[in-house]
Amino acid sequence: MSRMEKTSTGSAIINAVWEVTVERLAEKISEKDLRFWLPHMRLLSIKEQTAKIVFSEDVDANTFKNTYGSLLLEALSWACEENVQIEYIQDRPNDVNQKKNTKTKKNVWVLLVGIVLILLAGLLTVIFLSLAQNVMFKETFYQIGSTKVDGNLRVIQLSDLHDVSYGNNNEKLLSRIEELQPDLIILSGDIIDQDNNSHEGTFALCSSLTSLAPVYYIYGNNEVEQAFGFDMTLNSLQERFQLSKEENLYDNACFQSLDDPLKDRLEELGVDVLWNETATVKLQEATVDIYGVLTSNPSAFWPFSGIPYSTFMEENTDHFKLMVSHEPYVFNTFSYEYWADLVLCGHTHGGIVRLPYVGGLYDQSIGFFPEAQGNYVAGEYSIGGHPLIVSTGLTNEGIRINNQPELVIVDINQY
């Protein structure tokens, strides 16, 4: 049996054949050349009378083949005891690098997929927890100091309920408000939802609220659309009432000429509805002037609210001045120090999704990351040295992530 026939038994035979080949080759070439080439070449396999010899990336296999190929062929055939052919194989660094790069890319993809799965799991957890929380509203308390108030005056703000009910006939919401013992209740708009055909639940809520404290209702965009069928931008109002565009101030009497069954129904229930108007109410030892903004769009605020708002601020300056505007954009737009002692707003829904360190994700009028742009979206701010509070709203319909529905409670006292 020839050595060629024995090579299938394993690497030991291949190593033995290679040792005999090297000894035979040493008789044919100089010791110096053999020491140079030998570390860079090895016998990989012998199969079907073909020997595969691998050369490292540091030397050129063709150079050896051209110089010593015939001598190696003779030595290898002698060692195998029969004629063989030689296949020269050159190790390519690119092949090695490609394998490394492929492995690296695979590892990177595995890492990225893992990160995405972790983030997705975290997001799903936050969404699930938010859905569970949104079944019930949270309570946010604010403490406001004013020398115009003796003792403590408690104001509760409901905003952006959108005809949602907490319990049968809003019994959970009503029960909690009764426990909080408010002196004044402010409904700051979008209590109804214009897409609903019936608001009987909201009317029942309003009727019950009037038994707890004086209730004042300021329209939001949903009430405006329901009552008037057009928005409160300056262009819309000029067109609707055929007003001269050259004037800077307009008479609010134009609104009183409009038929509004919604307002009529609310007032029948004992709710005061304010359309760019002031109401004065005595609460304990304090007198409070409440100004309700109908034209809360910045373009229409001063043209329609300039005169009544100035009267509200300039008369009876010893009264506590409470201003309510459904939308906060007037205060984003105008840098003005002549604001009320306290301003309450809503409309933004807190930016829909609340992100840590960033705030609201989206506002329908401003766009993405409204708080990062310096806008008033949720919580307490200071305008002209006075507090502005923006409620995130009470509705739990639609998307609300890390943004539980909110009931606002403001305690006003001398301290």
Average pLDDT value for residue range 73-81 = 88
The predicted pLDDT at position 412 comes to: 96
Of all residues in the chain, the percent with pLDDT exceeding 70 is: 92
pLDDT in tens, 168-199: 999 999 999 999 999 999 999 999 999 888 89
Q: What is the pLDDT of residues 358-370, one digit of tens each?
A: 999 999 889 999 9
Percentage of residues in the chain having pLDDT higher than 90: 54
Average pLDDT, the chain: 89
pLDDT mean over 141-162: 95
- Taking only the tens place, the pLDDT of each residue in 401-413 is 899 999 999 999 9
CATH top class, domain 3-91:
alpha beta
Average pLDDT over residues 29-43: 88
105 band by pLDDT with thresholds 50, 70 and 90: confident
125-149 pLDDT, tens digit each: 666 666 667 889 999 999 999 999 9
Residues 267, 210 contacting (CB under 8 angstroms): no
- The Cα-based distances of 398 to 273, 328, 353, 368, 379 in angstroms read 28, 22, 11, 18, 21
Whether the predicted pLDDT of 9 surpasses 50: no
Q: What pLDDT does 96 receive? A: 52
Q: Are 328 and 365 in contact (CB under 8 A)?
A: no
3-state SS record for the chain: CCHHHHHHHCHHHHHHHHHHHHHHHHCCCCHHHHHHHHHHEEEEEEECCEEEEEECCCCCHHHHHHHHHHHHHHHHHHHHCCCCEEEEEECCHHHHHHHHHHHHHHHHHHHHHHHHHHHHHHHHHHHHHHHHHCCCCEEEEEEEECCCCCCEEEEEEECCCCCCCCCHHHHHHHHHHHHHCCCEEEECCCCCCCCCCCCHHHHHHHHHHCCCCCEEECCCHHHHHHHCCCCCCHHHHHHHHCCCCCCCCCCCHHHHCCCCHHHHHHHHCCCEECCCEEEEEEECCEEEEEEEECCCCHHHHHHHHHHHHHHHHHCCCCCEEEEEECCCHHHHHCCCCCCCCEEEECCCHHHCEEECCCEECEECCCEECCHHHCCCCCEEEEECCEEEEECCCCCCCCCCECCCCEEEEEEEECC
Q: Is the pLDDT of residue 6 over 50?
A: no
Can you name the residues that pair with 140 across neighbouring β-strands?
A: 408
Per-residue confidence (pLDDT) for residue 2, from 0 to 100: 52
- Find the radius of gyration of the CA atoms of the chain: 42
pLDDT at 12 (0 to 100): 84
Q: Pairing between strand 85-90 and 138-145?
A: unpaired
Residue pLDDT, tens place only, 263-314: 999 999 999 999 999 999 999 889 999 999 999 999 999 999 989 999 999 9
| Residue 316: partners with Cβ closer than 8 Å, 6 or more residues away | 280, 287, 289
Q: Which residues contact 330 (CB under 8 A, 6 or more apart)?
A: 293, 296, 298, 301
Question: Which of 223, 196, 227, 178 lies closest to 397 in space, CA to CA?
Answer: 196
Q: What is the pLDDT of residues 207-216, one digit of tens each?
A: 999 999 999 9
Band of residue 256 on the pLDDT scale cut at 50, 70, 90: confident
User: Minimal CA–CA distance to 340: which of 171, 186, 172, 136?
Assistant: 186
Residue 252: what pLDDT? Answer: 86
* Global confidence as pTM: 0.72
Would you list the domain boundaries of the chain?
3-91, 94-133, 137-413
Q: What is the pLDDT of residues 314-349, one digit of tens each?
A: 999 999 999 999 999 999 888 777 899 999 999 999
1 falls in which pLDDT band (50, 70, 90)?
very low
Q: Which fold has domain 137-413?
A: Purple Acid Phosphatase; chain A, domain 2 (3.60.21)
